[in-house]
Amino acid sequence: MTKKSLLTLAASALMLAAPITNAMADTNPFLQPYNTQFEIPPFSEIKTSDFIPAIKKGIEEQKQNIFNIVRNRAVPDFDNTILPLENLSPILERVASVFYHYDSALSTDEFATMAEEAIPLLNEAQNQLILDDLLFQRIKQVYDSRDRLGLTPVQKRVVEKYYRQFAEQGAALPADKKAELVRVNDELSKLFIQYNKNLLNATNSFFVTVYDKADLAGLPESSIAQAAEEAKARGLDGLWVFTLHAPSRLPVLQSADNRGLREAIYKGYTTLASYGANNNYPVIQQIIKLRAEKARIMGFDNFAQMMTSRVMAKTPEAAEQLLLQVFEPAVKRSAEEVADMQALADAEGAGIKIAPWDYYYYAGKVKKQKFDLDENDVRPYFALDNVLKGLFLAAERLYGIKMVELPDAPKYMDEVTVYDVQDAKTGEHISVFMTDYFPRDSKRQGAWMEQMQSAGLYGDGTMKRPIVYNIGNFTRPAGDTPALLTIDEVETTFHEFGHALQGMLSRAPYKSIAGTNVDRDYVELCSQINEHWAFTPELLKEYARHYKTGEVIPDELIAKLEASGKFNQGFSTTELAGAALLDLYWGENDGTDTDVAGFEEKIAKRIGMPEEITFRYRSPYFKHIFGDDGYASGYYTYLWAQVLEADGWEMFEENGVFDPKTAASFKKNILESGDTEDAMVLFKRFRGHEPDVHALLRLRGFEEKQPAKKSKKK
């Protein structure tokens, strides 16, 4: 997952502040350029109290620069109107990039309290920027004359992107509609804060205590040790505590023989933030009403129509058609998977009917029965450090980059690792890359990529390279045992690094089109295709070594991993497509149907969601769509990007997974290009044809794969 920031982190507001004095600049690290290697934020100098003053100074700086643009009497052109928009406030860029990172990864109680003041300031600043009529008129003049200004194709695309983004956010509205939009946006921003706060508090407050060691049967030793450490930290020595964080939750669902324990964890997760003081139902009800109102203000029938108009799908109907085209064969396959599980449970004399909290557990049993593959046999080969070696080796072979650790670089926590990403041949600096892989109470769940500095042209005339980071919530080391990743965690590591590659390798000349600043339904291509290298036999033999013996993963285990590669695809695809459909139908809601649980039940019946599988995320913890607007009415984009990924991966399979020419074409046309051209144009230049949805069905095993023909190498 990748997160979107404010439009080039730009903002303005009608407020006054005192000039920056030397004393202030000396004490607030955000107010001057960072005097560090590669301009990495000096985290040890940053205090929570620095954020609000820096945000206000940045807003004032941006306000002044907007005034400079609009008062310019010269005919609006690229240099006097668009270029200044790329660098409206260096101060605000610096503080906002760290603020949004901490908001997700280091949200202490002190920070969360401050954020309640900061987020409305930032959102109001964004409104002031986007809804500035004089500024928009200048942008429109450049847009209207773009064919006569002698612009390069890339500059012309930047102009078109600014015009589109301003228009999509209400810049072309009449004054009364703008005022309504500001009110709605302000109310939504406050609701997003409350939703995320409720979710974090609910996640941290739920736990299950196990008193009898016999109830831990089936769990891997690493999971038991982690639960014992969690109990000890809570003053419950001699007991075991399980939480809803993925490294604690998933092993229970996958391996615990105690069905009651699995059910308790499952129900704890699926009722997360849906009751008590942290209940998100009332918050969602208000969000749905306000989104419907916002869509009407913007001239659309519903929120989904507004959001899909901005990406490759163009309409909710087109997105729905794609989802159903994949959902229906996935449901059919999931029925076969459930039948296999039920047969195994019956053979064991379990006397149960497969329920959602049984799915992971019995899927593992069926997998072992069919492929003689137990994930606990594989995990010892996936120590985090070894996985990272494989990750970086693949990137070097494919794209010619190497990772050089910077042990003395600034860090916001000791367990963060910082790398200088270099050209493997010349040693040229390409990017800074940072990792933060373990869970903590101040970090939200999941995994994501973002950047603290974008590639592109800056106001001082320099072309800067990016600072990119990956965040995860993987299993921590326990005792003498290193962090041993599950198969899913290995895949996630490669996924987020795929996003990082697009951010780090970008050669787009302007920040607004660099890296992952591309259409939402295109951005997941790079991440999802990178997952495939994780389990290619050639790479596994390089990095998958037993953490105790150093033994290379045996050919027998590799063969089992390959044979089981399409196992349980019915479940995973049904779960994903079902959540995407729920999101899309929430977006089509006119604001009157706000019974959250009832709406989910109605949609489950409408699409035929199997009773053994629930939505990947239920609404109270579906942060993608209710924590902000980033993926709202756009969760389907993961599936659309999987079509691109599947089609692109077939090309690597046909030509060789480390084929230099194919990798060079992918690097040039996809990873480096950013949003310099239309996404479909770039994909077709790499692949040679438009994306084929049947490639996804073949990849998931829902359709037979035809004999491979070598693709034309680029």
Neighbouring residues of 378: CB distance < 8 A, sequence distance ≥ 6: 487, 553, 557, 561
Helix (H, G, I), strand (E, B) or coil at 474: coil
Among 621, 686, 469, which Cα is nearest to 1's? 469
230 vs 207, 224, 235, 267, 350, CA distance in Å?
Answer: 10, 10, 9, 20, 31
DSSP assignment letter at 2: B
Backbone torsions φ then ψ of 60, nearest 5 degrees: -65, -45
Locate 619 and state its tokens: 């609404």
Amino acid at 247: P
Backbone torsions φ then ψ of 405, nearest 5 degrees: -65, 140
Pair 596, 619: CB distance under 8 Å: yes
CA distance 654 to 366: 31
DSSP 541-572: HHH-B-TTT-PBPPHHHHHHHHHTTTTTHHHH
Q: How many beta carbons lie within 10 A of that of residue 536, not counting itself?
A: 18
Question: Tokens 């990082």 appear where?
Answer: 500
CA distance 117 to 342: 53
Locate 19 and state its tokens: 């000039």
Question: What's the burial of 598, exposed, middle or buried (CB within 10 Å: 0-12/13-18/19+)?
Answer: exposed
CA distance 132 to 153: 27
Listed in sequence order, the DSSP H helices in 372-477 are 375-378, 384-399
Torsion angle, CA of 650/652/653/657, rounded to 10 degrees? -150
Catalytic residue selected from 293, 337, 489, 496: 496
Neighbouring residues of 523: CB distance < 8 A, sequence distance ≥ 6: 2, 499, 502, 516, 637, 641
How many helices (H) and strands (E) the chain has is answered by: 28, 9
Locate 246 and state its tokens: 């993925």
Kindly give the pairing relationship between strand 401-405 and strand 417-423: antiparallel
Torsion angle, CA of 584/502/466/449, rounded to 10 degrees? 40
Identify whether 496 is a catalytic site residue.
Answer: yes
CA distance 392 to 397: 9
Locate 613 and state its tokens: 């599988």
Backbone torsions φ then ψ of 274, nearest 5 degrees: -125, 15
DSSP assignment letter at 478: B
Question: Catalytic residue positions?
Answer: 496
